[in-house]
Amino acid sequence: MTALRLGLPLLLGLALWQGAILALAMPAFILPGPLRVAEALLANRALLAEHAAITVTEVLVGLALGALLGWLSATLLALSPVAARSLRPLLVFSQAIPVFALAPIFTLWFGYGLGSKIAMALLIIYFPVTSAFYDALTATPPAWVAQARIMGAGPARILWCVRMPAALPGLMSGLRLAAVYAPIGAIIGEWVGASRGLGYLMLLANGRAKIDLMFAAVLVVAVLTILLHRAVDALAHWVERRQTDT
């Protein structure tokens, strides 16, 4: 049943793709067909795997650091109303700046290696994780907090033992969004300045008119993003089951 649910949308997408080519008479150098892209994927599998390894490293490190920083930031905001009033507008402002505008700056600061791409991935996922976790921390049922205070728990213990467990679904929701956004940050960073990675390979293939290879790289990014999202979703379900069991 799971295979059927996944296979039907895939077949529908491929049919629409091929149908658009036939209906619009699109030449292969503008929109290659699914079979042509599959051939490019197979013929360049080693090259794609090499560049995919770089992009996956950037995404995973950026996701881990962004999740950790978002968790710490949300905890600080929940502990201190003064910090919440002072820093939340800065968080919103950081999202008002287009990431494309920051990518050249990060490349200048961190160089053309992994650092600038990790920073881009971190930046693009930091706000969803922080915002989702903070909102969940502040939405703890008041009765739970009141009961903890009656039992003599202080603010730090209430946060750790009551509000954080209650806010775990919010954190997992933020991580689900982060899993989708993190590859975007890494690819943008590779577009601006890189010598490795799937984003760099897309630009290289486009510049050499190898559109089928470019589409193959896009397909690899899409598959990696789906796999990452499913992995985070599985982790979220595991955490929620553990929480229910306890």
| pLDDT bracket for residue 2 (50, 70, 90) | low
Structure-derived torsion over alpha carbons of residues 98, 104, 107, 109, reported in degrees to the nearest 10: -90
Residue 54 is predicted with a pLDDT of: 93
Average pLDDT value over all residues in the chain: 83
- Minimum mean pLDDT range among 45-54, 62-71, 77-86, 162-171: 77-86
- Is-contact 125 70, C-beta < 8 A? yes
Residue 50 is predicted with a pLDDT of: 93
Residue 11 placed within a domain:
no
Rounded-to-integer distance, Cα 37 and Cα 29, Å: 11
Most confident of 42-56, 83-97, 157-171: 42-56
Tens of pLDDT along 5-55?
656 777 777 777 777 777 777 777 777 878 888 888 898 989 999 999 999
Rounded-to-integer distance, Cα 203 and Cα 244, Å: 47
Neighbours of 100 (CB within 10 A): 11
Residue 239 is predicted with a pLDDT of: 79
Instruction: Quote the pTM value.
Output: 0.83
Residue 177 placed within a domain:
yes
Whether pLDDT at 221 is above 90? yes
Residue 2 placed within a domain:
no
Nearest alpha-carbon partner for 215 in 3, 7, 12, 21 = 21
Nearest alpha-carbon partner for 190 in 110, 125, 122, 107 = 107
Residue 140 placed within a domain:
yes
Residue 161 placed within a domain:
yes
Dmax over CA atoms of the chain, in Å, equals: 74
- Is-contact 28 36, C-beta < 8 A? yes
| pLDDT bracket for residue 85 (50, 70, 90) | confident
Residue 27 backbone zone (phi > 0: left; psi -120 to 50: alpha; other: beta) = beta
Residue 87 placed within a domain:
yes
| CA–centroid distance for 219 within its chain | 16
| Residue with more model confidence, 132 or 89 | 132
- Minimum mean pLDDT range among 134-138, 141-145, 187-191, 199-203: 141-145
| Residue with more model confidence, 142 or 64 | 64
Rounded-to-integer distance, Cα 184 and Cα 27, Å: 28
- Minimum mean pLDDT range among 7-11, 63-67, 209-213, 221-225: 7-11
Residue 14 placed within a domain:
no
Which CATH number characterizes residue 174's domain?
A: 1.10.3720.10
| pLDDT bracket for residue 65 (50, 70, 90) | very high
Tens of pLDDT along 143-158?
777 787 777 777 777 7
Number of domains in the chain: 1
| CA–centroid distance for 226 within its chain | 10
CA atoms within 13 A on the CB side of 184: 11
What is the extent of the structural domain holding 165?
Answer: 33-245
Residue 19 placed within a domain:
no
Residues near 210 by beta carbon (within 8 Å), at least 6 away in sequence: 40
